[in-house]
């Protein structure tokens, strides 16, 4: 099954679909074990985790593709990818669509901010005209590698134009080829219902922590017919806090012995990676080689 088709399939059986962000292949493996059915790769996550940069449009298509390939190689769960503004004009957006599909992504979301973008939950965002965003989406839609490759349109217009204007934009985005809508920085639960009623396509709620949108439960989101609940950086933030604490303890106490019980054990790590299966295969190969040498 193609990745985009797989994403659409899981969306039909889990609603809202809990879409969890990963910043490396190992977290993708862990997410599947935890029971998640789809994954997300955040542009902010790539910038921060892979390059130590803020989410201000400083990473390239190739930077993001590298992380896409790593995640899709480690996990067969469908992966939705943040491609910011598409990294350029129509030709570059078309290339982005094709390269993402070839790298194994299930789909992408592209936003209506200007090229010098900001984090979606920060102030000072500037957005392009509806017409320009529709041009982006038409270029993206025309470049799809296959019909089920997901093209999601993200609107950041609420902050500067209000909810009603953002809804109007979203309707136009669907007409221009968007398969789904990502309504960024929604603050009221009922506003999701307004979006859903207007656009008539799957709707995503971004539940990023410390942002504009409250931590709505899946039950609350279901009540207003939201289709996807996105947790883009929750695992990353949890890991970062744990690392911060571990580094502080090692540096100040001169030993890690007081936090060993807080660490993932070697056996737990090996279990996720199926290490012993690989090791058994290695033993078989060595045994076979030894037997061949003995026979000679």
Please identify every residue annotated as catalytic: 40, 55, 82, 84, 109, 111, 119, 154, 184, 206
Q: Which of 62, 55, 98, 85 is nearest to 70 (CA)?
A: 62
Query: Is 154 one of the annotated binding-site residues?
Result: yes
Q: Are 153 and 170 in contact (CB under 8 A)?
A: yes
Structure tokens at 199: 């656009």
Q: 106: closest CA among 174, 34, 202?
A: 202
Beta strands in 221-274 (DSSP E): 228-231
The reply to whether 120 sits in an annotated binding site is yes
- Residue 277 is labelled as binding a ligand: no
Residue 134 among known ligand-binding residues: no
Count of residues in the chain: 296
DSSP string of 167-207, one letter each residue = HHHHHHHHHTT-SEEEETT--SHHHHHHHHHHH-S-EEEE-
CA gap 19, 78 in Å, rounded: 10
Q: Is 102 annotated as a binding residue?
A: no
- Annotated binding residue 122: no
Query: Strand, helix or coil at 243?
Result: helix
Q: Is 266 labelled as part of a ligand binding site? A: yes
CB 99 within 8 A of CB 105: no
* 206 assigned binding-site residue: yes
- Take residue 294 and report the two structure tokens written for it: 């003995």
Annotated binding residue 184 = yes
Angle at which helices 130-142 and 163-175 cross, to 10°:
30
Nearest of 107, 236, 119 to residue 185 by alpha carbon:
119
CA distance 103 to 6: 15
Per the annotation, binding residues are 82, 84, 119-120, 154, 184, 206-208, 237, 266
Per the annotation, binding residues for substrate are 119-120, 154, 184, 206-208, 237, 266
Per the annotation, binding residues for Mg(2+) are 82, 84
């Amino acid at each position: 099954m193609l990745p985009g088709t797989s994403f659409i399939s899981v969306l039909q059986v889990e609603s809202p679909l809990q879409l969890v962000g990963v910043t490396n292949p190992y977290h993708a493996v862990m997410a599947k074990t935890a029971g998640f059915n789809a994954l997300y790769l955040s542009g902010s996550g790539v910038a921060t985790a892979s390059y130590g940069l803020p989410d201000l449009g400083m990473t390239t298509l190739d930077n993001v593709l590298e992380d896409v390939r790593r995640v899709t190689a480690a996990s067969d769960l469908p992966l939705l990818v943040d491609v910011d503004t598409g990294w350029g004009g129509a030709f570059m957006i078309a290339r982005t669509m094709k390269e993402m599909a070839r790298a194994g992504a299930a789909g992408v979301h592209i936003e209506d901010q200007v090229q010098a973008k900001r984090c979606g939950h920060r102030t000072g965002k500037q957005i392009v005209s509806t017409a320009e965003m529709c041009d982006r989406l038409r270029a993206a839609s025309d470049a799809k590698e296959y019909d089920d490759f997901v093209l999601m349109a993200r609107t950041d217009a609420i902050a500067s134009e209000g909810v009603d204007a953002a809804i109007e934009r979203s309707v136009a985005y669907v007409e221009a080829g968007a398969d789904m809508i990502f309504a960024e920085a929604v603050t009221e639960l009922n506003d999701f219902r307004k979006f859903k009623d207007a656009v008539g396509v799957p709707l995503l709620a971004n539940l990023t922590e410390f942002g504009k949108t409250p931590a709505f439960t899946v039950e609350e989101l279901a009540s207003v017919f939201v289709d996807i609940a996105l947790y883009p950086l929750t695992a990353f933030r949890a890991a970062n806090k744990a690392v911060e604490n571990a580094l502080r303890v090692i540096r100040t106490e001169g030993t890690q012995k007081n936090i060993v019980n807080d660490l993932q054990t070697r056996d737990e790590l090996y279990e996720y990676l199926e290490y012993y299966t690989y090791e058994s295969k290695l033993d078989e190969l060595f045994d076979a080689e030894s037997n061949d040498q003995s026979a000679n």
